[in-house]
A and B are shown apart, each in its own frame.
Chain A
Amino acid sequence: MSAPLPLVLDISHCEAHAICRMSRHGKLAKSEAELLQGTLDMLILKVVALGPIHGYGITQRIQRISNEALLIRQGSLYPALYRLENHGSLKAEWTTTESGREAKLYSLTKAGRRRLGDEMRSWDRLCAAIALIMQAQAVE
């Protein structure tokens, strides 16, 4: 019970106030969108790198690996998957699972692997920079 509430990764999180605006493009603060979008993409790519997996599996795995700290909204997952597929980082295939159902499995392409590497590196840089600032003592 003392676990912190899971971080809900949701691209539309920031737009809860604009009820009447139906369009997703435009007014979103650029930096927020970039950070969230980029992070989500990176997480998805990492999970898919571990093996071909379908959408539901991705949410489950992220939840499990992060010890319930990260929760991906389905509303943001699937557009992200389609976007990644469009850009060539992922490729998708319909196969039959063990339970006999038809599922769309995503796997990483070579470009995707490269992209994952890039994203990880920039994430590390970002984390290091933020850590430095957080540890800064007051000067004088």
Chain B
Amino acid sequence: MLWDAFFRKRRWERSLDAELRFHLEQQIEDYMVTKGLSRRAAERLARREFGSVELSKEECRDQRPFLWLEHALQDARYALRQLARDRTFAAVAILSLAFGVGLSSSVFSVVDRVLFRSLPYGDADRLVSIGVRGPMLPYDFMFGAQYLDFRRHQTEFAAVTSWSGVHDCDLTPGEPVRVVCASVESTFLSTLGVIPELGRSFTAEEDGPDKPRVALLSYGIWQSRFGGRADVLEQTISVDGQPSRIVGVLPADFETPTLAHADLVVPQRLDDATLQRAVTGRPVRVIARLRPGVTVAAAQAAADLMVARALSAMPPGRIASEVKAHVKTLRDLQVGDAKGAAWVLFGSMLGVLLLACANVANLILARTAGRQREVAMRVALGAGKTRLVRQAATESLLLTTIGGLCGLALAHVLLRILVNTAPGGIPHLTEATLDARVVAFAFLCTLTSGLAFGMGLPLAGSGKEGLHRSAGRWRLRPALIVAQVALSLALLSGSGLLLRALWRYEQIPTGMETEHVLTASLSLSPQRYPTAQRRLAFSEELEERLRSMGVFTAVAISDSHPPDVPLRSKPLAVQEIDGRPQESPAEGTVVWRAVTPGYFRALGAPIRKGRGFTERDRDPGGEVMIVSRSLADRLFSDQDPVGHFIGSTQIVGVVSDVRNSGGAAPDEPEYYVPRSHAADAPIYSYPDELQRVVAIIHTPLALTAASEIVRQTIAHLDAALPVQIEALRESTDRLSVRPRFNALVLTVFAAFGLLLAAAGLYGVLGYLVARRTREIGVRIALGATRGAIVAMVLGNALRWLAAGSVVGLALSVVLCRALKSLLYGLPASDPWAWTGATVSLVLAALFAAWQPARRAARFDPVEALRHE
């Protein structure tokens, strides 16, 4: 029976009707019997006694169960009808919401992975990386002896461990396959708080050069090569030709602290004795867990002390001043300079979200103001305040829900786009999915703004005064517009700045000719090429074969190619010039490459002074080098460096600078030495030297044909060697991928922001004109020209623009300062960017204001005066 009231209303109504009718009938019969009245008289009396039947029915209806649900549905239907009637309002509001929710959700998902996600280690916030950043290596490290000393004497850390990074290794059960191994200390997993999925971690007995070899499998390789079987434990695999026992499997979410991929984890095989001996060798990367209550600052102080102690043991020199200890949290280590881009995304997302909320608020305000009379009428007819508020809330809710759902769809699309166009190096980008938190966050923002403004009117004194009062919320709307203009200006300036920086960045000459040049990179496996002689023989054989092809204009061999960073570097300060140490030692590092004589020709890098390398330079004996122009400037200022000596090597030429920083950092000075034919030459004494071989080929052929030829040549030499062939143009294009991405993202946001602000301005001006219709009518009737009316309307718009610009300028300064790290040297107060931003804003505002102004000027004064 109860459910009937809700689901089968008609039946319930009929039942109610029948019941009341029965009552009446009984009463009538009663009166006919007891009072002896005629049927009609009895009926009249009975009805009078009963009172209003309809009223009773109303009251009975009010007692129905689920009344609140009925009301809610009623409200929702009404709200939908209202929205359908006012289509422009609905469209603009829903679009604004969709943009706001969509953009913020997609961006937040990306940013969240970079900035906020939790690392897969136990209590990851207490983990820090400690090390010295010297000019020798691109990461923070400690030498073996210092590490041992540190580990023994430190007090700030609950646990200290080390690892030696990742390197290639060959795995052979079955087909030899190139995988990546990470070398770690035995305490590595326990310090990080990682529990193996299967088996155990390493024990202290396995630390040491002569101990039996063991290995841990990564989850991925366990599934793919070992079928995910539990019996892998105690199996033996061959790593780099050495048998190693599998002792465990890592969990699925494991990652190395630098996010470098690792298929196997092996002990780094350094025991205390080995470490002790390595005073300036065996660099290891140190990770430590802070004790509870110890801050990063305290850890930094401890690290500085350690460095000072270590340096006091070494002879004083110029290196000392450049060596600084760094303590940074693991998250900072990983995020690195993706952080800048991530915060830019986050900030601009907030800006656009705010703009969207402001727009929605504005729209809703306008609407509720326009419906004040309707509301007052309803109150006079007996609607309770709760009911009105509930109805307004339902409307806002419906609007924000529809907008939010559209936004969700947009977010999906945007996320795919972002992930596909983002430059590499943003960690975990491909795993970014729409997070429930993210969506909830965006929804909440839009919901709050919608509800706050939607319910404001019915809540605040909407009594009978409402019939007479005009929209008291007028002050608020222009304030919102000013805020929107300010935000929009800030976003536009930021975007302008990034675009300028991008343009500037792309103008920097690469120093080489990038068309018609191929690079082929390969890495010789230590298993098949165990000695330096064999590796050198390979690269010389390759060079010979490529040259004898006859279709290439220039062939060169090196160990890396620009614009990538060279593999080796030295501190500048220690270089001796002409046998004497430098008077005022230069700062920084110099990088160097060993190249064949065809190198400069292949790259098209012109020799400025002196000469290039000849084949004779490659014979053992005289040592020569060619310096880059920036190195010459640094060490020799105006003098001609040709003929001078750096160390024991004579400079024979100066070549113009070639980009060699691989990306955002400034380029380093560089020098080149010829690739000697002797395998025991000192330049080959570095570990893993000769393992990487890069062939640089200049060819007039089409690049696809040329790369095929190169691939086949290499295959003839060694069929199992994996080769990466790329056009040089692709490598240089990659340089500007990140600045281009940043600029693109911020520009898209700025464009959306401008659109939203313009839409908001249009709406408010339209409302202003509608509100002041009578006044405009009077003015026209009194003789104001069309121009004067237009000027009046535009005057309002310009006033808001001016106010917004002032605030926006302040915001821009803040934003541009925050963008500093992404500007690649452009000063943050570039006037062009701000001018461009203001001009586009003014143009957009004028465009938005033109229509309402024109409409106002076209008013027929008679109609306008009659307008209520």
Q: Which residues of A contact B (CB under 8 A)?
A: 20-26, 54-56, 60, 73-76, 78-79, 82-83, 85-86, 91-92, 94, 101-104
Q: Assuming the A-B contacts A79-B60, A86-B63, are A21 and B1 also in contact, with contact meaning beta carbons closer than 8 angstroms in the complex?
A: no
Q: Which of A23, A54, A60, A104 contacts B15 (CB 8 A)?
A: A104
Contacts of B380 in A (CB 8 A): 20
Contact call B22/A26, Cβ cutoff below 8 A: no
Contact A94 B15 (CB under 8 A): yes
Nearest-CB residue, chain B, relative to A79: B59
Structural contact, A91 and B1, CB atoms closer than 8 A: yes
A-B contact pairs, 5 of them (CB 8 A): A23-B382, A55-B23, A56-B22, A78-B60, A85-B1
| Known A75-B52, A75-B59, A91-B1: A86·B22 in contact at CB below 8 Å | no
Q: Name the distance in Å between B251's Cβ and chain A's nearest Cβ.
A: 55
Q: Is B409 an interface residue (CB 8 A)?
A: no
- Who on chain B is nearest to A82 by CB? B63
Question: Shortest CB–CB separation between residue A13 and chain B, in angstroms?
Answer: 12
A78 to B30, CA, bound (A): 19
Judge whether A26 and B384 touch: CB under 8 Å. Answer: yes
Chain A residues within 8 Å of B19, by CB: 54-55, 78, 104
Q: Which of A20, A56, A82 contacts B23 (CB 8 A)?
A: A56
Residues of A within 8 A of B23 (CB): 54-56, 74, 78
Which residues of A have CB within 8 Å of B15?
94, 104
- Say if the beta carbon of B20 comes within 8 Å of chain A: yes
Q: Which B residues form the contact surface with A (CB < 8 A)?
A: 1-2, 15, 18-20, 22-23, 25-27, 30, 49-52, 55-56, 59-60, 62-65, 380-384
In the complex, which residues of chain B have a beta carbon less than 8 angstroms from the beta carbon of A73? Answer: 51
* Given A25-B384, A56-B27: A75 and B56 interface contact (C-beta under 8 Å): yes
Query: Which B residues are CB-close (under 8 A) to A22?
Result: 381-382
Residues of B within 8 A of A102 (CB): 18, 22
Q: Which of the listed residues B22, B23, B384 has the most CB atoms from chain A within 10 Å of its own CB?
A: B23
Asked if A56 contacts B51 (CB within 8 A), the reply is: no
Please name 14 further chain A to chain B contacts, defined as beta carbons within 8 Å, in addition to the given A22-B381, A56-B27, A76-B59, sorted by A numbering.
A20-B380, A55-B19, A55-B22, A55-B23, A74-B20, A74-B23, A74-B56, A75-B50, A75-B52, A78-B20, A79-B60, A79-B62, A104-B18, A104-B22
Cβ B56 vs Cβ A79 within 8 A: yes
User: Do A74 and B60 contact each other (CB < 8 Å), given the known contacts A55-B23, A102-B22?
Assistant: no
Distance from B67 Cβ to chain A, minimum over Cβ atoms (Å): 9
Residues from chain A with a CB closer than 8 A to the CB of B383 are 23
How far is it, in angstroms, between the C-alpha of A24 and the C-alpha of B138 when the chains are bound? 79
What's the Cα separation between A94 and B19 when bound, in Å? Answer: 9
Determine the chain A residues whose CB is within 8 A of the CB of B27 once the complex forms: 56
Complex interface: chain A residues within 8 A of B2 (CB): 85-86
Shortest Cβ distance from A18 into B: residue: B382
Closest to B385 in A: A26
List, in ascending order, chain A residues with CB within 8 A of B30's CB: 60
Residues of chain A with a CB closer than 8 A to B51's CB: 73-75
Contacting pair A82 B50 (CB below 8 A)? no
Partner pick for A74 among B18, B50, B381, B384, CB 8 A cutoff: B50
Q: B22 and A82: CB pair below 8 A?
A: no
Known contacts A25-B384, A26-B384, A92-B1; decide if A74 and B49 are in contact (CB<8 Å).
yes
CB-based contact B26/A56 at 8 Å: yes
* Chain B neighbourhood of A20, CB < 8 A: 380
Best-buried of A73, A75, A101 by chain B (most CB within 10 Å): A75
Residues of B within 8 A of A85 (CB): 1-2
**Cα distance A56–B381 when bound, in Å?**
32
Task: Name the residue of chain A whose CB is nearest to the CB of B57.
Answer: A78
Q: How far is the CA of A82 from the CA of B64 in the complex (A)?
A: 7
Residue contact A82 to B60, C-beta cutoff 8 Å: yes
The residue of chain A having its C-beta at the shortest distance from the C-beta of B52 within the complex is A75
Residues of chain A lying within 8 A (CB to CB) of residue B1? 85, 91-92
Is B22's CB under 8 angstroms from A24's CB? no
Does B26 contact A23, Cβ atoms closer than 8 Å? no
In angstroms, Cα B708 to Cα A135, docked, is 117
Chain A contacts of B382 at CB under 8 A?
21-23
**Interchain nearest-CB distance for B463 vs A (Å):** 13
Q: Which residues of A contact B62 (CB under 8 A)?
A: 24, 79
Q: Could you tell me the distance in whole angstroms from the C-beta of A102 to the nearest C-beta in chain B?
A: 7
Residues of A near B49 (CB, < 8 A) are: 74
Task: Write the chain B residue with the least CB distance to A27.
Answer: B384
Instruction: Pick the most buried of A22, A76, A78, A94: most chain B CB atoms within 10 A of its CB.
Output: A78
B494 to chain A, nearest CB (A): 53
Most chain A CB atoms below 10 A, which of B15, B20, B25, B382: B382
Cβ-closest chain A residue relative to B383: A23
For residue A12, give the distance in angstroms from its CB to the closest CB of chain B. Answer: 9
- Give the shortest distance, in Å, between B616 (CB) and chain A (any CB): 106
Q: How far is the CA of A62 from the CA of B580 in the complex (A)?
A: 124
CB-CB < 8 A to A21: which residues of B?
382
**A101 pairs with B22, CB closer than 8 A:** yes
Complex Cα gap A54–B20 (Å): 11
CA distance A24 to B59 in the complex (A): 8
The smallest C-beta distance from A122 to any residue of chain B, in angstroms, reads: 22
A78 to B19, CA, bound (A): 9
Q: Which residues of A contact B64 (CB under 8 A)?
A: 82, 86
On whether the beta carbons of B381 and A78 are closer than 8 Å, the reply is: no
